[in-house]
Amino acid sequence: MSKNKILKEILAEVEKHPEIMSRREALKYLSVSPLAASLLAGTTAGATAAVASDVKGKIVIVGGGLAGMSTAARLTNTLSNPDITVIEPNPFSVSYQPGQTLVGAGLWDKSDILFNRDDFLPSGVTLIKGSVTAFDPENNKVTVDGKDEISYDQLIIATGLMLNFAAIKGLDGVITSSDEENNGIVKEKVGKNGVHSIYYMDGAEATWTGLQELIEKAKSHTGPEKLQALFTDPHTPIKCGGAPKKIMYLAHARLEEAGVRDKVELTFYPNGGKMFGVPEYHEAILQQFKDRDFKWNYKHNLIEIDTDNKVAVFDKHAQVQGAYDKDLEEYTMVTTHDRVEVKYDFIHVTPPMKAPDVVGNSAIGSDKGWVPVTKETLQHVKFPNVWAIGDVAAIPMAKTGGSVRKQYKVLVDNIIASMEGKTELPAAYGGYTVCPLITSIGTVMLAEFDWSGKPTPSFPLDPTKERWIWWLLKVYALKPMTMYGMLSGRA
């Protein structure tokens, strides 16, 4: 995508929200700022194809979301005789999931992030509108909808993950985050009566309604005790690890805007024992929480919700010293569990997440469900012609769109090298991940890092600081870059 087209798309997004930034203000900054110039250059810097190849082979991609479609596009751009099939049942599989946080805060509408799968199918790619129901890697084939067998030379798993609401007692349903057709069971309890989740589009839309209801309740609240708004973070890996905090920051902003922040207590309940895995970002977020008078309780995992009485139940867990082991000459550590019940007026639920059962229970899956791959090459550890990318891959700290932007180029280079019979794979994924952590309406902390566990900023700025330039990136630039850059295989 050209810089001019990217700029046009950014300004179109700006014009939707003049209350935050005017077109003139955005254009002025984009025109004069060296940093903005480098930001725009970065949206097209990756627009290089892999080395062209005449190699032939049938490539099947299971999953037509951002990861699958971007990979299909790049393969199409690279291979002179591509034979690519994408298997994807969801007509909205390419919808812009990072925007769900903004929908949940009333900054975007659902229509701003809803995109049709078929509009982004690369030219020449075959689309099967169905679901893979069985994998047979020994015989190089998959079964679609329980009846049709599809063979392959190379298989790419890009199914994404499942939102396992049913793992929380009192809730039901397991869905994909972009599934607009099959979330009816989830919506029986989530999206109403104070229980909300931005992790699927209908839920994000309902979250904004829920926040407005909380604000109206706060306006008429006169009791001595504050209303309670809870935000959870579960015990499983999740996509976009910053999202549970983003919606909390935005709820705070909306309550302040309405003049009722002093009537609502906002409390974060993470399963883990820190705010962020990278120490520098953990410390920055901790200070942000203190500045905003947020509360938090580490090592609390949401296990149950009584939606009728508005009570959330947490497993509070801790490691304590146990019996002394004479042989090892040390004390054993014992995990304790306490049941903690908390009343709420509003609760944002981040559901436990898992690989689709059809993947996890198959030969290509693992005990934990995720597809086991060599994390640098994305090649399956058992089957050399099977690859995985995106949320379903068993890769540390990588369930973000920013990770996929790095991964799909690595995967394409490696799969082509493998098809050409090369013994060494040329490309390696370094674990890059980015979390644009929205901290208010107008500011973002751009948390970039990799497997080193250290900040890896792309720009010469302190990455622990909240800045409005990153708001410009997050809210106005990333969607055009994703929809017209990555999904064309060139960003």
The single residue listed with the structure tokens 């077109």 is 23
Reading the chain (491 residues) residue by residue, the pLDDT tens digits are 455 666 676 777 677 767 666 666 666 555 544 445 544 555 444 444 456 789 999 999 999 999 999 999 999 999 999 999 999 999 999 999 999 999 999 999 999 999 999 999 999 999 999 999 999 999 999 999 999 999 999 999 999 999 999 999 999 999 987 777 788 899 999 999 999 999 999 999 999 999 999 999 999 999 899 999 999 999 999 999 999 999 999 999 999 999 999 999 999 999 999 999 999 999 999 999 999 999 999 999 999 999 999 999 999 999 888 888 877 778 888 889 999 999 999 999 999 999 999 999 999 999 999 999 999 999 999 999 999 999 999 999 879 999 999 999 999 999 999 999 998 999 999 999 999 999 999 999 999 999 999 999 888 889 999 988 888 888 888 888 898 889 999 87
How do residues 25-74 score in pLDDT, each as one tens digit? 666 555 544 445 544 555 444 444 456 789 999 999 999 999 999 999 99
Contact 158, 90 (CB under 8 A): no
CB under 8 Å to 45, separation ≥6 — which residues? none
- Of these residues, 21, 240, 253, 285, which one is catalytic? 240
Burial class (CB in 10 A: 0-12, 13-18, 19+), 342: middle
- Of these residues, 10, 144, 389, 435, which one is catalytic? 435
How do residues 140-196 score in pLDDT, each as one tens digit? 999 999 999 999 999 999 999 999 999 999 999 999 877 777 888 999 999 999 999
Q: Which two tokens stand for residue 281?
A: 């970002």
Q: What is the pLDDT of residue 473?
A: 83
Q: What is the pLDDT of residue 34?
A: 47
Q: Is 75 a catalytic residue?
A: no
Q: Is 253 a catalytic residue?
A: no
Distance CA 61, CA 118 (A): 15
Q: What is the pLDDT of residue 51?
A: 61
Q: Are strands 346-348 and 195-196 parallel, antiparallel or unpaired?
A: parallel
In this structure, which amino acid lies at residue 159? T
Contact 224, 262 (CB under 8 A): no
Distance CA 225, CA 345 (A): 12
Fold of 182-353: FAD/NAD(P)-binding domain (3.50.50)
Distance CA 260, CA 317 (A): 33
What is the DSSP track for 20-69? T--HHHHHHHHHH-HHHHHHHHHHHHT--PPPPB----EEEEE--SHHHH
Q: Which two tokens stand for residue 258?
A: 């309405």
CB under 8 Å to 459, separation ≥6 — which residues? 35, 38, 39, 446
Q: What is the pLDDT of residue 48?
A: 47
Distance CA 469, CA 442 (A): 9
Q: What is the pLDDT of residue 5?
A: 65
Reference 231, options 258, 199, 263, 205; nearest CA is 199
Phi, psi of 307 (to 5 degrees): -70, -25
Distance CA 385, CA 51 (A): 20
Domain ranges (residues) in the chain: 1-45+432-491, 182-353
Q: What is the pLDDT of residue 326?
A: 78
Q: How far from each other are the two terminal CA atoms of the chain, in whole angstroms?
A: 8
